[in-house]
Amino acid sequence: MSVSSARVRAGTVFDPSGDARQRKGRRRVPVRPSPAPRPWLGRLAVAATFTGLAAVVILGIATETRTELRLPGGVATFIGSMTGLTGMYLALVMVLIVARIPPLERILGQDGMLRWHRRLSAWPLSLIAAHAVFVTIGYAQAARTGVLHQLNAFLAHYADMLAATVGFLLMVAIGIVSIRALRQRLRRETWWVLHLYMYLALALSFAHVIALGPAFVGHPLTQVLWSVVWALTAGTVLVYRVGLPVMRSLRHRLRVVEVHREGPGVVSVVMSGRQLERLAVSGGQFMAWRFLARGLWWQAHPYSLSAMPQPPYLRITVKQVGDHSAAVARLKRGTRVAIEGPYGNVTGHARTNDKVVLVAGGIGVTALRSLLEDLPKGTDPVVIVRASSESQLVLRDEVAELVRHRKGTLIELVGSRREIALHSQGLLQLVPDLLARDLYTCGPPGLVEDVVEAARSAGMPHHAVHYEVFSW
């Protein structure tokens, strides 16, 4: 008797194989796939970003006169004004990058968005710091006083400067804790709360820009335009990070109906809801889940769908690696669930070849299991599952059944990373026609980095390698 059939007999409502529904004569309700990425929208977004940056630079230059530059402190003040304008503009771009704007998220995916966010992060902080230094020097030169005296005058007598200083210090603190070595020492919940203060930091900085910025004082049109840019940024964040998730949560009204053990420290959570056929999700995607229970309601954590939805049910499979995931295993039946997403671009839309190879490490098998279910027949999948021990091969029977149904090949690699290394030659030995396939990989950072490096060293083009790192 298979694991799936055993669970169905025990009363499990979610049948991964779908056999129980077919025996009862009930047809599976098809779910709507997520929209395909539109690369031209990404190119348009990049063009709009650089156009906006050019406009900011031109604005700063156009509002400065030669007479003002010749005055004592004029050059330093001008440099401070330009670095402040460009720094704040790039800070707004950073916020938009992680605003989960669906068309852009479908192009870059979570990993891509975070990579660009981190690459950009040093620039606004450095430019805003330069702004503070040069403006203070410029005003001190103009007043023929010391820098420290001028700094004290700013804080004591200039409107909104104290709030802006607090905002800047918050940005510095957030930048420091975002350094990878420090971030990994923090609980995810702590890092998430600290990161929310970035919105407060930007809000505190807004008023002093309008009230004191040389490019804005005496220029009402530029004040209006800058205010519109800030308002649109704030509105975009509210729509996609708050409004859309609330709307979806109210539409689908998810509740926990079952929690069962899949393996050591791994549980599956089955939820039921309304109109799940309208969810528009593809295999390989994840969602941010907010379980409205004591101690959990205030934070949303990302977990991949471990199977395609079967309206009115859907399922996630969670490994207990922290306080939140451990609490998920104790969820009670009937717990309400709020959702954000679906997110992620490791889907069938990304495929450029007919055939695929899927490489999963640890709990990364959840995303690739739903992707495997969603792939069309004829993809001849080679599925490589990596685990330290056999007990960690979760969803093993389900993956094997899906591979068998698609006439693919399942390879299980059990052992430590030292014993079994996935390098380019090893990958080619396991998959001789590797270069004729698309590769998908999900799992912990070490495994994903090794697999991606091995695939590219073997000659796979970048566009044929798709990955999702299971970390924060």
Sequence ranges of the domains in the chain: 39-247, 253-343, 348-469
pLDDT of amino acid 24: 47
What single letter denotes the amino acid at residue 356? V
CATH of region 348-469, choose from 1.20.1250.20, 3.40.50.300, 3.40.50.620, 3.40.50.80: 3.40.50.80
Residue 249 and residue 275 in contact, taking contact as beta carbons nearer than 8 Å: no
Candidates 41, 50, 33; CA nearest to 104 is: 41
Residue 105 and residue 237 in contact, taking contact as beta carbons nearer than 8 Å: no
pLDDT of amino acid 349: 92
**pLDDT confidence band for 196 (50 / 70 / 90):** confident
Flag whether pLDDT at 389 surpasses 90: no
Flag whether pLDDT at 9 surpasses 50: no
pLDDT of amino acid 1: 33
What single letter denotes the amino acid at residue 448? V
Reported as a single tens digit per residue, the pLDDT across 208-245 is 777 666 667 667 777 888 888 888 999 999 999 999 99
Flag whether pLDDT at 151 surpasses 70: yes
Residue 437 and residue 463 in contact, taking contact as beta carbons nearer than 8 Å: no
pLDDT of amino acid 292: 94
Copy the structure tokens of residue 119.
Answer: 């690459």
Flag whether pLDDT at 195 surpasses 50: yes
Prediction pTM value: 0.82
pLDDT of amino acid 464: 94
Mean pLDDT across the stretch 48-69?
86
**pLDDT confidence band for 21 (50 / 70 / 90):** very low
Copy the structure tokens of residue 346.
Answer: 């490791």
- Distance separating alpha carbons of residues 8 and 245, to the nearest angstrom: 32
pLDDT of amino acid 296: 86
Does residue 313 or residue 111 have the better pLDDT? 313
**pLDDT confidence band for 368 (50 / 70 / 90):** very high
pLDDT of amino acid 357: 95
Side by side, the strands of the sheet bearing 409-414 are 409-414, 382-387, 355-361, 437-443, 465-469
Reported as a single tens digit per residue, the pLDDT across 431-448 is 999 999 999 999 888 888
Mean pLDDT of the chain, nearest integer: 85
Flag whether pLDDT at 176 surpasses 50: yes
3-state secondary structure the chain: CCHHHHHHHCCCCCCCCCHHHHHCCCCCCCCCCCCCCCHHHHHHHHHHHHHHHHHHHHHHHHCCCHHHHHCCCHHHHHHHHHHHHHHHHHHHHHHHHCCCCHHHHHHHHHHHHHHHHHHHHHHHHHHHHHHHHHHHHHHHHHHCCCHHHHHHHHHHHCCCHHHHHHHHHHHHHHHHHCCHHHHCCCCHHHHHHHHHHHHHHHHHHHHHHHHHCCCCCCCHHHHHHHHHHHHHHHHHHHHHHHHHHHHHHHHHCEEEEEEEEEECCEEEEEEECCCHHHCCCCCCCEEEEEECCCCCCCCCEEEEECCCCECCEEEEEEECCCHHHHHHCCCCCCCEEEEEEEECCCCHHHCCCCEEEEEEEHHHHHHHHHHHHHCCCCCCCEEEEEECCHHHCCCHHHHHHHHHHCCCEEEEEECCCCCCCCCHHHHHHHCCCHHHEEEEEEECHHHHHHHHHHHHHCCCCHHHEEEEECCC
pLDDT of amino acid 3: 37
As a whole-number percent, the residues of the chain with pLDDT over 90 amount to 38
Flag whether pLDDT at 2 surpasses 60: no
As a whole-number percent, the residues of the chain with pLDDT over 70 amount to 92
Residue 286 and residue 277 in contact, taking contact as beta carbons nearer than 8 Å: no
pLDDT of amino acid 28: 64
Reported as a single tens digit per residue, the pLDDT across 397-416 is 999 999 999 999 999 988 87
Mean pLDDT across the stretch 284-288?
93
What single letter denotes the amino acid at residue 403? V
pLDDT of amino acid 200: 82
Residues 6 or more apart whose Cβ sits within 8 Å of residue 151 = 136
- List the CATH code of the domain at 253-343: 2.40.30.10
Residue with tokens 């200039």: 158
Copy the structure tokens of residue 288.
Answer: 């941010």
pLDDT of amino acid 211: 65
- Distance separating alpha carbons of residues 237 and 232, to the nearest angstrom: 9
**pLDDT confidence band for 325 (50 / 70 / 90):** confident
- Distance separating alpha carbons of residues 167 and 131, to the nearest angstrom: 14
Reported as a single tens digit per residue, the pLDDT across 28-43 is 667 888 888 898 999 9
Mean pLDDT across the stretch 131-159?
86
Mean pLDDT across the stretch 321-325?
77
Mean pLDDT across the stretch 59-83?
85
Candidates 84, 48, 82, 35; CA nearest to 232 is: 48
Flag whether pLDDT at 117 surpasses 80: yes
